Amino acid sequence: AETVTAACLPELLPLYYRRLFPFSQYHRWLSYGGVTKNYFQNREFSFTLKDDIYVRYQSFSNQNELEKEIQKMNPYKIDIGAVYSHRPNQHNTVKSGTFQALEKELVFDIDMTDYDDVRRCCSSADICTKCWILMTIAIRIIDRALREDFGFRHLLWVYSGRRGVHCWVCDEAARKLSVAARSAVAEYLTLVKGGEETVKKVQLSDPVHPFIKESLAVVRRYFTDYALVGQDIMGSKESMDKVVALVPDDILALCSFILLYVCIFSYQASSKKSYYTEEEIMLQYCYPRLDVNVSKGVNHLLKSPFSVHPKTGRISVPIDLRELGQFNPFDVPTISLICKELDRPRTAEEEEASVRERDPDGGEIFSDYKRTSLAKYVKLFDQFVEEMERSRKGELLRRTDLQKDF
């Protein structure tokens, strides 16, 4: 994996923000069709600059202002916050107590470090393709629940650039949720409970909720591959002990160490008690672990899509759910790669295409990103924004038709 030291960022970031960052789609996304007055203008952005200087409450009147400021400051990281009652950059001039976070996307943050007790391949900030399966499982489970159980439609899944994924639920209903409602959604999606000192983190009881059954169907597809093969959880005494600690004593009393796996299944089937030991073990090892605090707050900041991860240099790119099984975090382009790709001499076709796309006023060429590995990710983002716009137009037409009917 190619890594970028912070030393390269001062020269690469200006190029990235000047020629590659998808400002047009980005502004369209966060304006939400301009339906609500000042929706974009009252949005908080925060920038992390060189040497961890942190600048909060940035806000911009339009796309042009956002571009100019980002190109001037060249932030190492961009975070997106809430839409406030007033412009965030004027929050000091507003009467105390009236400056309030009103709306924000419902967001989820899943970080691989929260799985350290169930992965043997890596720990802390390190990841590999073996443990990345956990992120695939998390996306499949959370995405299904948000769409089917809650009825949300506009979900943007984004790779964090290092060791996790973020989800932005952009439906109007999601953006308007109160703190209590966000907490309720986060609680609904939480099954693994308790900190390091809690041995058994999943407890199921009769009747098993349909959501848990749906989630188990996903986990079963991956459990053998992830836990038994990839992590080899039965392969050493230490890791075997962790599994044994999750098994009720009366099952353990019946079986030898070797027969443990058989025992878990057969005893459950014949026992009068309701045991879900097998399912609880599977969920403890594979079920998504959410940082609920990120989801609960309206004013919580979350790293922006297309921000650069300062440690790995990887771009925080959208994930295509149609190709989720093939997504490999190590294939995600780094800032140094895409800046290098810009330096390549243009092919004749690219030259022709760029002339066709040139700004009529003779300004910059808009499609520089198309010459780099960033292209497919910007296209994906563009499709996401377009789908939201189509849906909004459809909703407006429906409302208009309803009004005509009355």
Q: Which are the catalytic amino acids?
A: 44, 109, 111
Nearest to 118 by CA among 182, 201, 206, 184: 201
Q: What share of the chain is helix, strand, coil (3-state, %, to 5)?
A: 50, 15, 35
Cβ pair 287, 214 in contact under 8 A? no
Q: Is 37 exposed, middle or buried (0-12, 13-18, 19+ CB in 10 A)?
A: exposed
Sole residue written with tokens 């188990």: 216
Nearest to 312 by CA among 288, 336, 289, 283: 336
Residue 173 parent element (H or E): helix 172-175
Which distant-in-sequence residues (6+ apart) come within 8 Å of 65 by Cβ? none
Cβ pair 111, 103 in contact under 8 A? no
Q: What are phi and psi of 195, to 5 degrees?
A: -90, -160
The SS3 assignment for 308 reads strand
What per-residue string of b and e applies to 383-398 under the rule 16 or more CB within 10 Å gives b? ebbeebeeeeeeeeee
**d(C-alpha 323, C-alpha 185), whole Å:** 26
Sign of CA dihedral 152, 163, 300, 7: negative
Nearest to 342 by CA among 17, 55, 4: 17
Residue 164 parent element (H or E): strand 164-169
